[in-house]
């Protein structure tokens, strides 16, 4: 009698496991997302128009705060059990990860293009953190993702306001 062995990736529960991600893995991706944004905005600050410079610096500072929050959570001994928790991978996870790569912008930098890129990043982050909040169990992880989704929503609203002001002031 011959027994056929299935490759491990086809075994029982593979698809369920494939759809899961640990909070630690999420924090790693989110840290890279926030660090990339912080570096992007920091490098960009002196390349945009005078009207946008303080705002771009503000964006860099906000992304730095998020990055530092993730770093703190990764080092916090009280958070170590939470890092091991697995939750369902959000359906838009690939879109969030795509924003870890920043676009190459040609000189001179177009303020409108910067705002459009930033709006896309904030939308992707808001969608990601909202989806993670939906999947996370009640407790500090769910609260964290709700907080971050709210933060990204506020950033997006401010970007939309700046975009509207730029477009309607004849700045494009």
Number of domains in the chain: 1
Give the pLDDT of residue 105: 67
Mean pLDDT of 52-73: 90
Q: Are 166 and 51 in contact (CB under 8 A)?
A: yes
Question: What SS3 class is residue 167?
Answer: helix
In a domain, 56, yes or no: yes
Q: 15 falls in which pLDDT band (50, 70, 90)?
A: very low
In a domain, 149, yes or no: yes
In a domain, 16, yes or no: no
The CA distances from residue 90 to 65, 107, 109, 132, 133, in Å, are 23, 36, 33, 6, 10
d(CA 100, CA 94) in angstroms, rounded, equals 10
Mean pLDDT of 15-30: 74
Strands (E), the chain: 20-22, 86-88
Q: What percent of the chain has pLDDT over 90?
A: 13
In a domain, 15, yes or no: no
Q: What range defines the domain where residue 79 resides?
A: 21-168
* DSSP state string for 38-86: HHHHHHHGGGS-TTTHHHHHHHHHHHHHHHHHHHHHHH-GGGHHHHT-E
79-111 tens-digit pLDDT: 888 888 888 887 766 666 666 666 666 777 778
In a domain, 41, yes or no: yes
d(CA 108, CA 49) in angstroms, rounded, equals 10
Nearest residue to 96 via CA among 20, 38, 31: 31
CATH number at residue 59: 1.20.1260.10
* Residue that the structure tokens 């790693």 belong to: 28
Angle of helix 111-135 relative to helix 140-168, nearest 10 degrees?
A: 160
């Amino acid at each position: 009698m011959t027994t056929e062995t299935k490759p491990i990736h086809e075994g029982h529960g593979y698809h369920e496991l494939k759809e899961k991600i640990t909070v630690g893995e999420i924090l790693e991706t989110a840290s890279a997302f926030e660090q990339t944004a912080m570096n992007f905005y920091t490098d960009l600050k002196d390349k945009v128009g005078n009207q946008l410079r303080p705002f771009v610096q503000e964006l860099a500072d906000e992304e730095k705060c998020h990055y530092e929050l993730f770093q703190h959570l990764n080092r916090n001994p009280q958070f170590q059990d939470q890092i091991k928790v697995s939750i369902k991978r959000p359906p838009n996870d690939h879109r969030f990860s795509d924003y870890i790569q920043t676009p190459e912008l040609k000189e001179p930098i177009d303020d409108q293009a910067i705002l459009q890129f930033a709006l896309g990043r904030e939308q992707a982050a808001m969608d990601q953190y909202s989806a993670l909040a939906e999947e996370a169990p009640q407790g500090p992880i769910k609260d964290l993702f709700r907080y971050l989704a709210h933060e990204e929503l506020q950033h997006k609203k401010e970007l939309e306001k700046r975009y509207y002001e730029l477009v309607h002031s004849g700045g494009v």
